[in-house]
Amino acid sequence: MRLHALLSLASLLPSALAVFADDAYHVDYHHALLGLPQQHTSFFQQPYAGSKAALIYTLSDKLVLGAVNPKDGHIVWRQSLASSDAIKSWLRAGQGQDTVVAAVGSHVTAWSAADGRLVWSAESLSGPVQDLEIIEIEDSEVSAGPKDVLVLFNASTPVVSRLDGKTGQVKWSFEDESGDAPLQVLASGAGIHYVSLHTTLLGGLKIKVVSLDQSTGHKTDQYSLSSESDLSSVDSILFVGANSASPILAWTDKFSRALKVNIVGTKSVASLDIEGKDGVGIDTISLHAPLATNSMPHFLVQIQTAQSHWADVYHIDLKRSLISKAYSLPRVAGKGAFATSTVDANVYFTRITADEVTVVSSVSHGILGRWPLKATAVPDLSDQPYPVSAVSEVVSRSGSAQAVRSAVLFSNGEWALIRNGEVTWSRPEALAGVTAAIWAELPETESLADQLEIESHGNILAAYIHRVKRHAGDLQYLPGWLQKLPSRILANFSGGSTRRPLDGLQKDSFGFRKLIVVATEKGRMAALNAGGSGKILWSMDTVPLTAEEKWTPQLRTSSGGAIAVHDQARGLSLLIDAATGKLLPVDPHVNSAFRHPSTGAAVVSYSLAEGEVRAHTPGQENPIPLWRFLPATDESILDITPRPADDPVASIGKVLGDRRVLYKYLNPNLVLVTAVHRTASTLSVYLLDSTSGDVLYTASHSGVDVTRKITSAISENWFTYSYTLDVSSSSLSRGHQLVVAELYESAIPDDRGPLDTAANYSSFQPAAAPGDVAKPHVVSQTFQISEEISKMSVTQTRQGITSRQLLAVLPESNSIVGIPRNVIDPRRPVGRDPTPAEVTEGLVRYSPVVDFDPKWYLNHKREVFGIVGLITSPSLLESTSLIFAYGLDLFGTRVTPSFSFDVLGKDFNKLQMLATVVALFVGVMFVAPLVRRKQINSRWQIT
C-alpha cells in the first residue's frame, strides 16, 4: 500500500530530461571586434538611397571591414580582408550608393552596404593598390547605377584604371612610364588627376600632376609644382583631397613652420604660417577637409603640441584660386580630435576633447553646440584617455546644431559613440589581437587558500586561534548576505530562471567566476570577468611599441592572485595584480621555472633554439645543458606541444568490455614535436620525454601541404594533430586529416609491461630499467574532416573524471567545435561491427570521415574571427569546463562533455519538489495514526 502510494505521487512529477535546455547566449559571451578604426577609412553612410538611418562603416588596422549600428554599437556585418601583400588599405562609398568599395593589397572588392555580401572582386597581378577613389560626377555616357571606381596600382609601371561600378571590369587604363613614384589619384568636377613624386638630383621631391580624360583615360595636361625645396619624404605630405569641390594638395616645409597648399588644376602654391604659440614646439599638424563634391571649399588645419592644441579654418576662392584664413579656434589644453561633416553644401567641424564636444560651422567661428563629455566606460590604469580620431554626423536646424553623434577612438583603444556629449556605447577595440591569455582565481579564493595554507603549517593551538580570527573577520559580510537571502530564496523556489548577474568579483559555489588576464600585440593588458559575461575590469598600456612591433609575452600565475609577465625579447619581468591591474614589486629571487604539477619541484626546462629542442636545468644563472633534439635532415621544427601541467587523471587504465584493463601510459613529461620537410612535403611527429630527451614515438606523413596550418594537442595518455593534404600531388585529393593516437603501457590487457617488474625507475634514464620502458604501445587512427583546424585544445575538469572533448578552431567557418572523445577513439573497430564487449565500451564501427555535428559548435550561430589560442580551466563542478578563445575576437563559454550530472538544471521546479515533500509529510502524518490503530485492533481481534 505504501509503495503504491509513493509511486502514485511520483507520477505527478514531470519526467526527467536527459539533456538540459540549451544555454546558448546565457553561459557564453562574445566580444566581436574589428580592430582600431582608421579615420581615413571610417564614415557615416546610409546603406541604400532613401534610408532614414545611417551605419558606421570602417576598415580597421586588422583589415576587417564592418558596418556598425550607431544605436547600440552592434556589428551589422563584417568581412575579413586580410592579405599577404597588404601594406595600406582604403574604403570608399559613393553618395547615395548601396555598395562600399575596399582595397587591400592587390585586391579591390565591392560589398553590399546593407548586408555585406560580395558584389564583385578585382585583382591586379602587377602590384598592390596605391589609392582608391569613387567617380562621383559621371560623364554623360554612363547610365544611372553604381558609380565607377578609380584605382591606382603601384607596379613597376604605375597604372591608373577605371573599373565598372557594376561588375568591376576595367574600362580603361593609363600607364605612367616616367619612372616617378605614384602617390594618389583624384576625381572631382574638374576631372581626373594623377599625382606622382619625382626625385630630383639633390634628393628633394617634386610633385607632378597629370590630368586624364574621364571617358578615355588619355592624358590631357601635365604640370609640376616647385616642392623640391620643402619635400624630402612622403611623410611631409599632409593631405591629398579627392572627390571634393576643390581638391587640394598640402604639405609642410622641412621645419614645419609653413603649410604649402595647392589647388589641384592650378600651378600656384599658397604658403600659410603655422608658427607655434608661446614658443612651444609643434608635435603634429593635420588637415581636415570635406569630401563631398557639393560642399563649400573650406578646410581646417589642426596644430597639436605636447600640452595643447588649436585650429585654423581656411576658405578657398575658386574663381580667383586664392586661399585665405577665415578664423581660428581657441587653444585648449590637452589633446583633441576634429571631424568634418557635410549637410547639403554646409560644412561643420566637430571638436572632441577630454572634457567637451563642440560644433562650429566652417563659415563662422560661432559655436553652434556645446556639450560636456563624460568619461569612457573602461578605466585605463596607464593614463587618462584622450580622443585620437573621430568621424561625426551633425543635425543642424535654424542656425544651430540640434544634435551631433561622433564615433571617437580614444587613446586607450576604446571606440565610443558620443551623442550630444553622452557615451551611448563603447567597444574595446584595443583588445583586438590578443596574443597571450591566462586564467586567474578571484582574490577571495586566493586569500582563503593562503589562509588555509598558514593554518595547515602551524600547531593546533595557533591554527585554532587563526581560524577563530578569520571567522570573526568574515562576520563583516553577514549583513549583506542576510540582505540578499530573501531574494535568493524566492529565486530558487520560483520555478523559473535562477540566474543572477555576476558583475561583481565575488566567488560562487560552482567556480564559474574567474578572471582572465590577456595581453595584446599592441602592448596592452586587460582583465575580463569570466563570470560576468566577459566584462572588462581594467585595461592599461604595459609596453611602448612601434607600429611594426608585436608583443607576445609569457604569462603565468603567481601567489596572491598575481600574474607574472615575462618578455624575454626585451628582458622585461612584471608582476600584476589580476583583480586591480596594479603593478606589484618583483622579487628577483623567485624561481620562474616550470614546476611539476603535483610536487611543485622544478623539472627540466626546454626551448626551441636554432632549429632544435634544447633542455637544461631550470632556475640557475648558468643552466647546465641536459639534452638536445634535432629532427631528421632538412626538417624544420614547427611547434612544440607539451602535456598540460594541470592534467588530472581519474583512472590509470581503460576498462574493457570483458572487465579487463588496458593500463594507460601516463607520463607528465610528454612533449609532442611537429616538423616538416618543405621540399619533400612531408610531416614528421616526434613524441619526446622532456626529462630524459628520449624519443618515445615517431610518425611520418607524405603529400602534406606544409604551407597550411599544422596544429596539435596532447592530454592524459593521448595526443592528436591535424594537417592538410597537398593538392599538387596527383595521387592525392584535397582533404584535411585528423590523427589521434593513444598510449598504453602494454598491448596486452591486465599487463603493466616491463615497468610492472622493475624495482627502481629513473625519469632521467628510463632506458636503464629492465625492458624497453621508454617505448609505450601506441594505437593510432586517421580521420577525414571537412575543414582545416588552426588551433587545438582539450577540456579540463577538476578531477579528470568527466570525458574530455577535443576543442578545434575552424577558421574557414569562423567556428569552434567540441569533438567528443568517443567519436575519434582510435580503438574503433575497422572493417567490422563492434562486438558486444566493445559496444559496452561505447565503441562504434570506424568511419574514415568525421562530420561535425551542429550540436558540437560552441559558438552556435555566432562567428568568431581570428582565433589564435584556446585556454581551458576546471570549475568546482566536475562536469563543467571553462573555455576561453582569443585572437581578433574574444569568446568564452562553459561545456559539459558528460552532461551536467552534478548540478540541477535551471528549469528544475524546486517549488514543486518542496510541495511534493510537504504533501508526503502530511500524508505520512495522517496515515500514521490509522496504521497504528489498525495494528492495535488486529492484536485484540480473536483469531
pLDDT digits (tens, 9 = 90+) for 601-628: 346 788 888 888 888 887 656 778 888 8
Using one digit for the tens of pLDDT, what is the confidence trace for 532-559?
Answer: 889 999 999 999 888 788 999 999 988 7
Mean pLDDT value of segment 571-583: 89
Q: What pLDDT shows up at residue 464?
A: 87
Q: Report the CATH number at residue 449.
A: 2.40.10.480
Mean pLDDT value of segment 661-687: 93
In a domain, 447, yes or no: yes
If pLDDT is split at 50, 70 and 90, which confidence band does 757 have?
low
**How many helices and strands (H and E) does the chain possess?**
6, 61
**Residue bearing the bigger pLDDT, 426 or 569:** 426
Percent of residues, the chain, with pLDDT higher than 90: 52
In a domain, 587, yes or no: yes
Using one digit for the tens of pLDDT, what is the confidence trace for 157-171?
Answer: 999 999 999 999 999
In a domain, 777, yes or no: no
Which range is least confidently modeled, 142-146, 719-723, 890-894? 142-146
If pLDDT is split at 50, 70 and 90, which confidence band does 12 have?
very low
State the Cα–Cα distance between residues 841 and 675, nearest whole angstrom: 35
Spatial contact of 646 and 757, defined as CB atoms under 8 Å apart: no
Task: Fill in the amino acid letter for 232.
Answer: S
Q: What total of structural domains would you count in the chain?
A: 2
In a domain, 9, yes or no: yes
Consecutive H or E run containing 495 = none
Mean pLDDT value of segment 733-756: 86
Mean pLDDT value of segment 77-91: 83
Q: What pLDDT shows up at residue 596?
A: 37
State the Cα–Cα distance between residues 99 and 901, nearest whole angstrom: 51
pLDDT at 730 over 60: no
If pLDDT is split at 50, 70 and 90, which confidence band does 277 have?
low
Consecutive H or E run containing 453 = helix 443-456
pLDDT at 67 over 50: yes
Residue 21 CB contacts under 8 Å (≥ 6 apart), including other chains: 905, 906, 907
Residue 707: is it exposed, middle or buried by C-beta count within 10 angstroms (0-12/13-18/19+)?
Answer: exposed
In a domain, 240, yes or no: no
Rg (CA), the chain: 34
**Residue bearing the bigger pLDDT, 912 or 832:** 832
Which range is least confidently modeled, 15-24, 265-274, 670-679? 15-24
In a domain, 272, yes or no: no
> Exposure pattern of 300-315 as b/e (b: 16+ CB <10 Å)?
bbbbbbeebbbbbbbb
In a domain, 831, yes or no: no
Which range is least confidently modeled, 25-34, 88-97, 417-426, 590-599? 590-599
Backbone dihedral region of 766: left (phi > 0), alpha (psi from -120 to 50 degrees) or beta? alpha
DSSP string spanning 79-102?
A: EE---TT-S-EEEE--TT-SEEEE
Q: What pLDDT shows up at residue 335?
A: 92
Residue 525's domain comprises 433-471+502-591
Mean pLDDT value of segment 644-656: 90
**Residue bearing the bigger pLDDT, 334 or 382:** 334
Mean pLDDT value of segment 690-706: 91
Query: If you count them, how many residues does the chain have?
Result: 943
Mean pLDDT value of segment 768-796: 84
Q: Which of 591, 617, 643 corresponds to the end of one domain?
A: 591
Q: Which of 566, 591, 616 corresponds to the end of one domain?
A: 591
If pLDDT is split at 50, 70 and 90, which confidence band does 17 have?
very low
Share the mean pLDDT of the chain: 85
Percent of residues, the chain, with pLDDT higher than 70: 87
Q: Which of 531, 565, 591 corresponds to the end of one domain?
A: 591
If pLDDT is split at 50, 70 and 90, which confidence band does 646 have?
confident
Q: Are strands 434-440 and 284-288 parallel, antiparallel or unpaired?
A: unpaired
Mean pLDDT value of segment 170-194: 90
Mean pLDDT value of segment 231-245: 81
Q: What pLDDT shows up at residue 626?
A: 85
Q: What pLDDT shows up at residue 900?
A: 84
In a domain, 454, yes or no: yes
DSSP tag of 290: -
Q: Which residue has the cell 562553459?
A: 894
